[in-house]
């Protein structure tokens, strides 16, 4: 029994000794690690400023390559080893300020000033922190009030000056660049963000939208797709991606219907595409132009003028929109407007013979519109027979003879003059044909030769009207 007890005691002692050896080994390992890794940080306690300088140099290198977390970890370790290391608080406060982590930055600055009160340089940095924080809040309020340019100014000239690593401010800046339509700058700025973090979803979304508003849809789609691969349920990326796909689908449908001659369906598709994003001007200018062209083909001049004007309001130098609006104005008989548009287009493209021919057509139409409408003056249609023309002439000549309109003789003389001129052109088959063809018949008015038409024969009461310049059918005057 005694032997068994002794054996049992010996076994327990062996296990205890083995545990003690393991414990000593682990403690020794921890001490070695502390010496190797924390020695540069705690050596300041031993009065070795060179090691502190090395620490801050390492922190500076980390900040330079934007490894802010590593820099903060080093500083936290240094402060843990020596809570009186004031410069560590200052460095940490500066990094937090750059990252716009304002509360942590302010706390670190205050800890430094508790150790070294009255330090003007640090008090200045603390003031810059307050300026940056206030400017960021002001910028956000300006966004809510719709003053995007002023908000951008606060972000660019204050926040990112004192907090250059502030991701929140950078994202706000590129959003504002979109809102003020500076798409190229938005692309450039988001490029810097993605260089630091290629998977930043907000930067991918904003950059894609910038390319979208520049009508570079292929590149926009690639950005949206990359973002959706990272987060398939991202609502804004889904909205941007599927919205763009729908726009392209509607546009293709409009173009296909136009090519197939289904013009009314094309009009519906163009209008549906335009309704998807009225602010997408870089792309909508082509939709407005496409719609205008279809409306011209349909003969809907008024709507066509409106669509081409919308296109020109976006791009006043769009040559084809000028030409199409000129064509549309011909349809609504706005001949002066048509000539003005087509003349401008011809000046921009003097070698284009199609534009020149259309301009000549418009100028001819304008000239025709400015001459008197003899048919209208006689109150007849363009298909009236010669007998109907004579009948109308006889009735109106009698009605407006100046001797029968003593009370309004001046008006009657003017109307009688027009009636006579109208009959001289329309009562002559050759002159009427030339007039109908749009030829210049300005010299076909009053003053023709003898053998004219006397609608009242030789009987009845005699009224005498001496018309200066002659009258069709007589020499110096016309006698009733």
SS (H, E, C) 307-371: HHHHHHHHCCCCHHHHHHHHHHHHHCCCHHHHHHHHHHHHHHCCCCHHHHHHHHHHHHHHHHHHC
Query: In the prediction, which pLDDT does 195 show?
Result: 95
Half-sphere exposure at residue 150, Cβ-oriented, CA atoms within 13 angstroms:
11
Query: Of 432, 442, 438, which is closest to residue 360 (Cα–Cα)?
Result: 438
Range from 10-24, 82-96, 458-472 that averages highest in pLDDT: 82-96
Tens of pLDDT, residue by residue over 399-417, are 999 988 988 989 989 999 9
- Top-confidence residue, 246 or 364: 246
DSSP track, 50-99: HHHHHHHHHHHHHHHTT-HHHHHHHHHHHHHH-TT-HHHHHHHHHHHHHT
Of residues 364, 356, 423, 366, the one with CA closest to residue 389? 423
Mapped onto helix, strand or coil, the DSSP state of residue 234 is: coil
- Under 8 Å CB-to-CB from 255, ≥6 apart: which residues? 266, 290
pLDDT value of residue 373: 86
Q: Is the pLDDT of residue 26 over 90?
A: no
* pLDDT tens-digit readout, 125-164: 999 999 999 999 999 999 999 999 999 999 999 999 999 9
Q: Mean pLDDT, the chain, as a whole number? A: 85
How far is residue 189's CA from residue 85's CA, in Å, rounded to a whole number? Answer: 38
Q: What pLDDT does 183 receive?
A: 97
By percentage, how much of the chain surpasses pLDDT 70? Answer: 81
Per-residue model confidence (pLDDT) at position 462 = 39
Residue 110 has pLDDT above 90, yes or no: yes
Contact 418, 372 (CB under 8 A): yes
Mapping DSSP onto H, E and C, the string for 93-111 reads HHHHHHCCCHHHHHHHHHH
Query: Residue 39 pLDDT more than 60?
Result: no
* pLDDT at residue 384 is higher than 80: yes
Task: Choose among 286, 339, 343, 276: nearest CA to 312.
Answer: 286
pLDDT at 209 over 90: yes
Instruction: Provide the pLDDT for residue 232.
Output: 96
pTM over 0.75: no
Predicted local confidence at residue 17, as pLDDT: 55
pLDDT value, residue 437: 80
Q: Say how far apart CA 109 and CA 113 lie, in whole Å.
A: 6
d(CA 170, CA 165): 8
pLDDT at residue 372, as a whole number: 84
pLDDT for the residue 22 = 60
Mean pLDDT within 454-473: 40
Spatial distance between the Cα atoms of 368 and 441, rounded to a whole number of angstroms = 10
Q: Is the predicted pLDDT of residue 391 greater than 80, yes or no? A: yes
Residue 262, number of CB atoms within 10 A of its CB = 16
């Amino acid at each position: 029994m005694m032997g068994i007890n002794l054996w049992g005691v010996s076994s327990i002692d062996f296990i205890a000794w083995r545990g003690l050896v393991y414990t000593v080994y682990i403690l020794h390992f921890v001490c070695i690690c502390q010496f190797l890794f924390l020695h540069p940080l705690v050596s300041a306690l031993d009065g070795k400023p060179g090691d502190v300088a090395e620490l801050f140099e390492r922190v500076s290198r980390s900040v330079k390559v934007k490894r802010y977390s590593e820099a903060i970890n080093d500083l936290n370790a240094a402060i843990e080893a020596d809570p009186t290391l004031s410069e560590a608080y200052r460095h940490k406060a500066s990094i937090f300020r750059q990252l716009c982590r304002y509360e942590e930055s302010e706390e670190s600055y205050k800890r430094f000033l508790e150790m070294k009160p009255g330090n003007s340089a640090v008090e200045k940095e603390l003031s810059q922190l307050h300026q940056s924080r206030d400017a960021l809040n002001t910028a956000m309020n300006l966004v809510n009030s719709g003053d995007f340019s002023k908000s951008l100014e606060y972000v660019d000239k204050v926040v990112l000056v004192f907090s250059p690593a502030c991701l929140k401010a950078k994202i706000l800046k590129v959003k504002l660049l979109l809102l003020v339509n500076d798409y190229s700058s938005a692309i450039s700025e988001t490029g810097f963000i993605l260089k630091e973090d290629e998977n930043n979803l907000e930067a991918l979304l904003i950059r894609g939208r910038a390319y979208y508003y520049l009508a570079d849809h292929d590149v926009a789609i690639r950005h949206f797709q990359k973002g959706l691969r990272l987060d398939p349920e991202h609502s804004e990326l889904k909205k941007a991606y599927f919205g763009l796909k729908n726009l392209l689908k509607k546009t293709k449908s409009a173009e296909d219907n136009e090519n197939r001659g289904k013009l009314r369906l094309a009009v519906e598709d163009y209008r549906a595409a335009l309704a998807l994003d009225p602010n997408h001007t870089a792309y909508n200018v082509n939709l407005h132009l496409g719609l205008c062209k279809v409306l011209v083909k349909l003969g809907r001049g008024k709507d066509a003028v409106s669509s081409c004007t919308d296109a020109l309001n976006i791009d006043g130098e769009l040559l084809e929109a000028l030409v199409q609006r000129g064509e549309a104005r011909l349809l609504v008989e706005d001949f002066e407007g048509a000539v003005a548009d087509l003349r401008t287009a011809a000046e921009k493209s003097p070698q284009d013979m199609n534009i020149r021919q259309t301009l000549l057509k418009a100028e001819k139409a304008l000239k025709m519109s400015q001459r008197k409408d003899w048919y209208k003056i006689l109150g007849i249609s363009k298909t009236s027979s010669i007998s109907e023309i004579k009948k109308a002439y006889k009735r109106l000549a009698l009605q407006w003879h100046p001797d029968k309109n003593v009370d309004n003789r001046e008006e009657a003389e003017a109307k009688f003059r027009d009636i006579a001129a109208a009959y001289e052109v329309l009562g002559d088959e050759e002159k009427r044909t030339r007039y109908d063809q749009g030829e210049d018949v300005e010299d076909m008015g009053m003053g023709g030769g003898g053998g004219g038409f006397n609608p009242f024969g030789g009987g009845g009461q005699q009224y005498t009207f001496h018309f200066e310049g002659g009258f069709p059918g007589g020499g110096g005057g016309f006698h009733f």
